[in-house]
Amino acid sequence: MMTDKRVDIGLYIKSENLNLKQIAESGQCFRMNEICDGRYSLVAFGEYVELLQIEENEIRILGTSEDRRPQWEEYFDLHYDYGALVQKLSECGDEFLKRAAAFGSGLRILRQDPFEVLISFIISQNKNIPAIKSAIEKLCERFGEKKRWSENPDLVYYTFPSPESIAAAEKEDLRALGLGYRDEYVLGAARAVSEGRLDIHGLKSMDYEQIMEELMRLRGVGKKVANCVALFGFHKLRSAPVDVWIARVLDQVYEGRFSWESYGDHAGIVQQYMFYYIRNCSQS
């Protein structure tokens, strides 16, 4: 844990079930990176910040100010009671879920920018997390806006590109970034948003089924990617993406008999507990 010196720089936010390490390693955000134990960099809202875990349930955000508190409280979904779900799962008869929820009790579903999530998870297909992060950073360096951190002007970072910036590119420009066959999918999605064929912000008012239908009209967006965007970009908590890790859980732990419907609007959070737990069990 970092030591809390209580200087006047930055913003302190506090809530139960708030663990930066668990959030950063949950596969939902590709621009949150560990700097050292208990400290993470993050680019969001077009700005660079550094996040410090001060206490078990408190973090400090460097590079922002008190007037941005509502923005960051929403980003970390502080108004949702994750503790109630952890408690409920601790009392259920599912031993695997009991362990998973206890192990990842500091997880939260971040409220990220939908366009960034869409492009990021198109890129994520058939790549591991380090490769995904590398490809996204290259995309930002090529098409994003170059900025310097307010706390340290020597630190240069790049914002996530706008739909228009990516849409103006050629496929060869994207392929040079190592996106492989995903280049045309990224380009197609950016142009759909830029040209108004996909109203990415209008999707916020739609229900889960409508969002899935609209997203899957895009070439290169199947059920898994659409579910990731619905969950991490639009906070549709009944969305439960199934990747290779979750497929392993469903097959090996539940022998194909797990029902997401049983968890309703908690299914996406349950998925995150499963994902974080099984990945860490496999690595230990």
Active site residues: 224
Any residues with CB less than 8 A from the CB of 281 and at least 6 apart, and which?
A: none
Cα-flanking dihedrals φ and ψ of residue 47, to 5°?
Answer: -135, 155
Any residues with CB less than 8 A from the CB of 176 and at least 6 apart, and which?
A: none
What pairing do the DSSP bridges indicate for beta strands 58-62 and 11-14?
antiparallel
CB 201 within 8 A of CB 114: yes
Whole-angstrom CA distances from 269 to 36, 63, 178, 184 are: 27, 29, 32, 31
CB 16 within 8 A of CB 79: no
